[in-house]
Amino acid sequence: MFPRKNRTINRWAAVLAIAFTLLFFVLLSRFVYLAEAKSVQGHDMTKIGKERWINAKLIDAERGEIISSDGDVLAQDTPAYNLYAVLSPTAESHVVDKEKTAEELAPIIHMSESDILAILNKDRFQVEFGSHGRKLTIDQMEKIKALKLPGIGFFKDSKRYYPNGTFASYVVGFTSHNDQLDKDVGIVGLEKSLNDMLTEEDGSIRFYGDRNGDILPDGTKELKKPHNGDDVYITIDSRIQTVLENAMSKVDKDYHPERMIGIVADPKTGAILAMANRPTFNPNKRDIKDWTNDAISDPFEPGSVMKTFTLAAAINEHVWPGNKTYQSGRYAIKNDKGRTAAVVHDWQSNWGTITFNEGFTRSSNVAFSIVEEKYLKPNRFYDYLERFGFTKKTGIDLPNEADSKINFKWKTDQIMSSFGQASAVTPIQIIQAATAIANDGKMVKPYVIQKVVDPNENKVVKEHHTEVVGEPITAETARQVRAMMHDVVWDKNGTGRNYRIPNYDIIGKTGTAQITVNGQLLTGKNNYVFSFLGMAPENDPKLIVYIAIDRPHLKPLETGSEPVAAVFKPVMANALQYMQVKPKLNDTENNEKKVKTITVKDFTGKSLLDAKAQLTDLGLDVVTLGSGTVKAQSLYDGMQVYPGTKIVLVGDGPYQMPDLTGWSMTEVLQFAQAIDAKPKLTGNGFVTTQSPAAGSLVKNGMTITVTLNAKNPDTKTENKNKS
């Protein structure tokens, strides 16, 4: 029996062996076929395999930064988060209590509970929350995480952020997210005009990975490097811009004008150091109402500021009557038939017979009507309008610049244009023309973009160079005009007396322009555009400041210069001190005081204690930080100041923040510069609050935030004690 059983087993074994052999060859032939054909039923097996095992990840790039001339970042990308909710019960974590989730999310993402609940009730695996759930801040994200709501998560993203808020908002502009491009796109300002340069290009990485998405050992990688957008460096100086913004905000609060314009420029280069408008907006909130940058895009009648350029034209043509006299008060413009077409009036009628020089100082419309019609003549006057750039755009590197509206067809328009009526120009055209007066005849083009840098290769791709766009007048003419502008401010009859700044030889020209709305000329003392074009110092102007305020609500005894001066004076004074322009101490006001001035010396490298002792003996108010030797000081070498002036000496660290209460804006700016800090000021006058607090550790590059008030708290306390 056993031998028969063995034969049976052997037979079945042979059958199985043959079957397995046949199966092996079938499978082998199939593998060989697949390897050669690489397809099954028309499907590319190689492609399917790659798609299953290849992973792709996005590498975020950043939009370029916009940076001030002194290194402050004005626009940058910051981390942001997009909110989502998993609804499917099959997911490991999903929304359980929809009502509670809606209730707790609503105040954080600023969305109604009902709208959130409608989204959570959708029949989907996962949902997002539209614009309310996108670009959330870190603070919002952390608040939501703290709620520990099941099914709620975040995708990491970035958002455009403007650290200084309303600071130079019409220059910088803002972006809006484009869903189709999935990128931020510039809408206003430099963000718009330089959008192509600022825009980033995201990268990606493709690799063979396991089921968890981790790269396989020795796995092949395909890398597309991210390309960050170009960084834009602009001419705006954050310290000068800060003073301009603060001064305009205070005047805006006190006088409630229709609008305000302020521009600060370097007349040697054309660089715009500060530019601001009111109303303004916060680019982080996109609360913009007026889409026009009035400084470059809204021409208006400049008023008597235009007399500066008519004067320059007449002097340059050697026809300025100067010491000749005329009858002020009124001047009749005759038509071709000898009939009166219009009558020009001076703003005061009791000057009588005066010289033309005095007519400029007093801002006489009659004087310039006579000069245009009888001395300069229309053709030559128009030629100088062209020479000074009033008949075309300046070409400033900001978007949407408007052109002027020069009305020169009729005789009345020709004459009235000589003193700033009938024709309209833009503030930036006035700035460009003024550079010729300040720069000994050479007119330079205004600009805002200093350079553009590719941060990926640290390569400058665009750089501005000063561009002389004309020489409308000679250097001698420019000097004569500046001397006449000096009289406007310092002569007893000058219209610019309110713009005097002690120790600095401010020169300038006032302007008061009428306003027409819907064809009707507005009347009343509030219904004018009040302006001032100022420069300093007279012999070699380092700054041009132009301020225009439209329809401020003046107090009973005010004439219009008060709100303009309230912006001009702190801006010019602080900018001159910041730029270390030495004051002139021989003016009439200081001679009357007969106070001996102190010349500051450079104490860098000297003993802090010895320097303090010497300066204290001279009568200065000395504040010291740290110990050892002097590393920096707030007043520069050779500066002439009065006894009691505050000076900060910075020694070896660490050192503590002083109590800034009662300090002036200028003193705060000088202190911030000495310790390399960033000042953030609100208000005008003297410091009432500060951050960091007195006694805090001072760190390099820190931000100092102060609130200023017109009333000096130190003075208030002193008076209280006296009483």
Active site residues: 304
What does residue 351 show for φ and ψ, rounded to 5 degrees? Answer: -80, -25
Which run of H or E residues covers position 679? strand 678-683
Chain centroid offset of residue 148 CA: 40
Q: Which two tokens stand for residue 273?
A: 């150091």
Residue whose token pair is 């001996």: 596
Q: Which two tokens stand for residue 630?
A: 């002097």
Separation between Cα atoms, residue 96 and residue 584, nearest integer Å: 75
Terminal Cα-to-Cα distance of the chain (whole angstroms): 137
Among candidate residues 241, 202, 242, 240, the one with its CA nearest the CA of residue 223: 202
| Residue ranges of E strands in 90-227 | 126-128, 152-161, 174-178, 183-188, 203-208, 221-224
What does residue 324 show for φ and ψ, rounded to 5 degrees? Answer: -70, 160
Classified as helix, coil or strand, 616 is helix
For the chain, the C-alpha Rg in angstroms (whole number) is 36
Q: Which two tokens stand for residue 666?
A: 């200028």
Classified as helix, coil or strand, 646 is strand
Cβ-contact 488, 509 below 8 angstroms: yes
Separation between Cα atoms, residue 468 and residue 445, nearest integer Å: 6
The string of DSSP letters for 337-348 reads TS-EEEEEE-S-
Separation between Cα atoms, residue 605 and residue 520, nearest integer Å: 67
Separation between Cα atoms, residue 561 and residue 305, nearest integer Å: 13
Name every residue whose Cβ is closer than 8 Å to that of residue 117 and which is 6 or more positions away in sequence. 98, 99, 102
Cα–Cα distances in angstroms (integers) from residue 185 to residues 61, 107, 174, 485, in the given order: 14, 28, 8, 45
Cβ-contact 176, 43 below 8 angstroms: no
Q: Tell me the H-state helices in 559-664.
A: 561-578, 588-593, 608-618
Residue 196: is it exposed, middle or buried by C-beta count within 10 angstroms (0-12/13-18/19+)? exposed
Cβ-contact 318, 310 below 8 angstroms: no
Q: What is the DSSP letter of 499?
A: G
| Cβ neighbours, 10 Å, residue 203 | 16
Residue whose token pair is 């960033």: 678
Q: What is the DSSP letter of 376?
A: I
Cβ-contact 414, 378 below 8 angstroms: yes
Separation between Cα atoms, residue 557 and residue 239, nearest integer Å: 33
